A = this chain, B = another copy of it.
Amino acid sequence: EHGTSNSGGESSKESSRSSTPVLAADRTERLRDKMRRRTESGDHWFSLEFFPPRTASGAVNLVSRFDRMGSGGPLFIDITWHPAGDPGSDKETSSMMIASTAVNYCGLESILHLTCCNQTKEKITGYLSKAKHLGLKNIMALRGDPVGADWEEEEGGFNYATDLVKHIRCEFDDYFDICVAGYPTGHPEADSYDEDLRHLKEKVDAGADFIITQLFFRADTFLKFVRDCRAIGITCPILPGIFPIQGYQSLRQLVKLSKLEVPEEIMRVIEPIKDNDAAIRNYGIEQTVGMCRVLLESGNVPGLHFYTLNREVATMEVLRQLGLWIEDPRRPLPWAVSAHPKRKVEDVRPIFWASRPKSYIYRTQDWDDFPNGRWGNSSSPAFGELNDYYLFYLKSKSSKDALLKMWGEELTSEQSVYKVFTSYIKAQPNCAGHKVMCLPWNDEPLAPETNLMMDELDKVNRRGVLTINSQPTINGKPSDDPIVGWGPPGGYVFQKAYLEFFTSSENVTVLLKVLKKYEPRVNYHIVNVHGQNTTNAHDMQPNAVTWGIFPGREIVQPTVVDPVSFMYWKDEAFALWIEQWAKLYEDESPSRMIIKYIHDNYFLVNLVDNDFPLDNCLWQVIDDMFELLDNPPDDIEALPGDGPVHQETWRRP
């Protein structure tokens, strides 16, 4: 498809290194079981820590970062709890919302931090209930720093993380996986290292499933800590917290907050280069890689936990050098799966949202089953309204300014719009010299799979067949094919060719004549913004257009062209013309009127070539349409006027 469908940008990659090729297990196991399975398989893995953003645009960026860093295959990510930032609220910058977005929209197994200090039990229970409702399954239980100087132990209150662990287990039984913090050099407030170890044992005994440690600078520090933990009977997994030094100031600040001492040998290197950020970062990468190698080779460290500071470069580079970053992750399904527990069994989606998976997830969040039973003509899937374009996880990554540069400061005709589409498809600069990196229906550049069809796409878009989604025919490629593969190894994947586009009503009139020649090979569905629609779908049944056959399994058919949900998609696809494009321009401006004209008068068309063992015939269908437009037979009534007339039309509202 266009956009992200095969870029892997939004896929959940937890299964990629699984030693047993299972479609379902990785989506159904809880975190502690995944961790145990990966550990037992001798596999090394990693996880990533993020903090919530300060601003709304920071939230949009962080979600993009989740998608990019999620593609490397972390076992989980975790989101810190910022007591000062209204962390349990519905604000787009809250810890709760960010963790929920990671789980639901980015498909990432996530841990939400929670601090209990100065909180009532009711408040904490409220947070946990909300987290559960949102699909979060893992909590990092922390005491947190007392607010103000007047904090005292409260009788029956939350004085230690142990109290929070007990409370979670008491109120929510075994629902959550619980993680607690370990301090390789002892908690700064503890009376002694041994005293702190005993506290840690209490936390684990209270029901914690694993430990993530505070950062440290020497492998020995961590390895001694693990030995000491084991010696007093702590048997759960202990994950080292890894902090790649990324800058002089951030190091100083963190060290101050965490009351850690930076070893002499590190300070000696850093002090002389403290004003050279690149040099410090490079040193940090080198130092971290070296330390991680020692840890992994010790045999006591199954996985590494990274304090990313919400940055990508250093952590990704360390992971690449360690060989833990998965460059070409295997996709469990051709679309990005969600990590919400009730979507674990989801195995089929309409193709229409292929480039807008977050919108699909949002609009189906109230469904009880995924899909409604199975896709079937009888069940009318009730999609939620999509009028919440403000939701940060659905927002375009580009600013209004950037969009105007890509899509045109001023449009002069429908052809101006056609040119935006062709620039996008060819990944070439528009006439103003700006590359078109996205369209309202495609937030990402063309997928590698779609690239294969670039010439055909270019040709038809030039003439006003404005494509927004497509896939080529695939007749049994191995499931590990780097471009089109998905699912467990040893299988074969198939596709029927698909093409979806906007085009003028004049084109549609001719297209319908052409399509008669392609019955029953080509299924079509044609609709305008007013809901006038024509289809040859049997009984409104869905048409499977992507499927896979795997050793020892039932058939998986993850993508369908479904005539019922197409009518919901139609509303969204047409609305994007206005919401994302027309509104960039002044009210009543010619540019806005051109987009409005297209919105009001064009049709949205989808075509499926059912004959997947043969060459894709959909380009021929479009060619035949052009041919008939160019050479109308005498016995056909004159077609309504073409291009220029419409351009007049929108000029006269």
Contact = CB atoms under 8 A, between A and B. Distances in A.
Given A538-B22, A539-B22, A520 B610 contact: no
Residue among A21, A553, A560, A608 with the highest chain B CB neighbour number at 10 A: A553
Interface stretch (A306-314, A333-341, A541-549, A587-595): A541-549
Interface string A296-317: 0000000000000000000000
Contacts of A494: 549
12 contacts: A475-B476, A476-B476, A520-B551, A536-B552, A543-B553, A543-B554, A544-B554, A549-B612, A550-B610, A552-B608, A552-B610, A554-B557
Interface in A556-614: 557, 560, 608, 610-613
A547 B544 CA distance: 13
Contact of A549 (B25, B544, B553, B554): B544
B554 A521 contact: no
A612 B494 CA distance: 13
Interface of A: 20-22, 24-25, 374-375, 475-476, 490, 492, 494, 520-521, 523, 536-539, 541-544, 547, 549-555, 557, 560, 608, 610-613
B552 A375 contact: no
B520 A490 contact: yes
Contacts of A560: 554
Contacts of A538: 20, 22, 552-553
A555 B547 contact: yes
A612 B551 CA distance: 10
Contacts of A550: 610
Nearest to A475: B476
A610 B492 CA distance: 10
Secondary structure call for the A interface = loop
A494 B22 CA distance: 23
Contacts of A549: 494, 544, 547, 612
B542 A554 contact: yes
A543 B552 contact: yes
A490 B523 contact: no
Contacts of A542: 553-554
Given A20-B538, A490-B610, 19 more contacts: A21-B520, A22-B539, A475-B476, A476-B476, A490-B520, A490-B611, A492-B612, A520-B551, A520-B552, A523-B552, A537-B552, A538-B553, A543-B552, A547-B549, A549-B612, A550-B610, A551-B610, A552-B610, A554-B557
A522 B520 CA distance: 37
A25 B544 CA distance: 19
A24 B552 CA distance: 27
Residue among A538, A553, A554, A555 with the highest chain B CB neighbour number at 10 A: A554
A608 B25 CA distance: 23
Contact of A541 (B20, B541, B552): B552
Given A22-B539, A610-B490, A523 B551 contact: yes
Contacts of A543: 551-554
